[in-house]
Amino acid sequence: MSLIEKTAAELLALQASGQATAAQIADAFLASIQAREPKVRAFMLVNEADVRKQAEAIDAKRKSGVKLGKLAGVPVAVKDVLCTQGMRTTCSSKMLEHFVPPYDAHVVERLRAEDAIILGKTNMDEFAMGSSTENSAYQKTTNPWDTTRIPGGSSGGSAACVAACEAPVSLGTDTGGSIRQPAALCGIVGVKPTYGRVSRYGLIAFASSLDQVGPFTHDVTDAALMMEVISGHDKRDATCVDAPVPEYTKTLNTPVSGLRIGIPKEFFDDGLDPEVGAIVEASLKQYEAMGAKRVPISLPNGSKLAVAVYYIVATAECSSNLARFDGMHYGHRTKQKADLIATYSKSRGEGFGKEVQRRIMLGTYALSSGFASKYYLKASKVRRVIKNEFDAAFEQCDVILGPTSPTPAFKFGEKTDNPLAMYLSDIYTISCNLAGIAGMSIPCGFTKANLPVGLQLLSPAFDEDRMFRIARMYEAATQWHTRRAVV
């Protein structure tokens, strides 16, 4: 197995034993990017000179005997919605085409503090609004397993670069499934942390009460390691919880005894692709073979109402958050001469793509006078009902399992003319964000067409430690996580 196919943990071990240097690892991934990017198109920006400079600095620290961080010499790709000091951050939008942040997002600070190498910025659906990465203003990222198909979204670039072995790990964001869904479609691990576990400081907001930053990795061990690095209290984010961060990697290989798996009947309805359903069922049987017990549960509101609630709450918050891009302070400003109001209108019309405009209009309507109580307030109340539903379910089980996505990766253009069909791609993931709980997707098999399928695990808030242990139980008994796409 070449360097680019290694996990982060394996790359750390190779450096510790003297079998590889940070510079050699960086060069290997830069070569992979150069060779594979013409087909994958996962990256918005890669600064080769800076990557090599970072690697050389880490090798120098190691040689001088200075204590190194948890991710020393590990290249990490970062979704282009996270601010990086001195490095362009566009949200894959024309609105921020020339924006260079003067500071790092909190999670990027944590990566640098642990001696990770910031490899570059990855493509995404514009302002994180989409499920296929077809909404980027610049390029369409492909799925490394089949480049005629989408990688998922909105963090498609972050998922694809790991699946294509252009980076060992990456960061994405999850507002309604934007980490878990592309992780499933690309055959890798993706984690959506509990809301408040990871600081959102420096994340350019889509929906502030839903957004969370999380990792993409090849296996659960790397996911646990990444979560140790990026989690923890940050006073700059008022929603970031001041709670100890467990050493996830220390307990990872301790199986959960007497495991009770909750199986929501609503996750296995007519909308689920039969082949995906069969693969997920085989995964559940694998857990049963390890002594787990199935517990039938029901999440009627979380399944039937989640999409409707999400597209009121998320679009309303999107409308509010994106109001700052007015052509005056920063971001795109029209070159057409106009008065104040016309400048606002033209700048936003030129800077935002169609999907972003659609969601802004939906959200503005939901918040408008006479409609806010009818839509946003009512949706907020139903959101609480969904949270209570999960709380009740977790009294009966330790984890909730099911498919991450109702289908494998679909072909480009297949759903672009039908927004509702695209929105339903996240039908199994959205309720997790509304409830603020933890979730992750792990690879659990492949279709006959060699397309990856993901198994979703949902756990109570701040119970990532047990969620990782349960995921690792399955991973240790299977080999799906060891497969690599051939690009």
Helix (H) or strand (E) run with residue 157 in it: helix 156-163
Active site residue 265: no
d(CA 392, CA 403) in angstroms, rounded, equals 21
Helices vs. strands in the chain: H and E counts, helices first:
17, 11
Give the whole-angstrom CA distance, residue 101 versus residue 120.
14
Query: Are 438 and 461 spatial neighbours (Cβ–Cβ below 8 Å)?
Result: yes
**What is the phi/psi pair of residue 102, to 5°?**
-90, 5
- Give SS3 for 42: coil
> Could you give phi then psi for residue 170, rounded to 5 degrees?
-155, 170
Torsions phi, psi for 273 (to 5 deg): -60, 130
Catalytic residue among 6, 32, 70, 79: 79
Residues 157, 80: Cα–Cα separation, whole Å:
9
- Concerning whether 158 is annotated as a catalytic residue, the answer is no
- CA–CA dist 355, 147 (Å, integer): 23
Spot the catalytic one: 178, 199, 347, 431: 178
- Point out the catalytic residue in the list 32, 131, 132, 154: 154
Phi, psi of 261, deg, nearest 5: -105, 120
Q: Which helix (H) or strand (E) holds 442?
A: strand 438-446
Dihedral, 327, 332, 335, 339 alpha carbons, nearest 10: -10
Instruction: Give the whole-angstrom CA distance, residue 247 versus residue 226.
Output: 11
For residues 141 and 121, the answer to whether their CB atoms sit within 8 Å is no
Alpha helices in 192-339, H assignment, sequence order = 220-230, 248-251, 274-289, 300-304, 306-321
112 closest CA partner among 74, 61, 60, 62: 74
Q: Within 10 Å of residue 99's Cβ, how many Cβ atoms?
A: 16
Active site residue 368: no
The catalytic site residues sit at 79, 154, 178
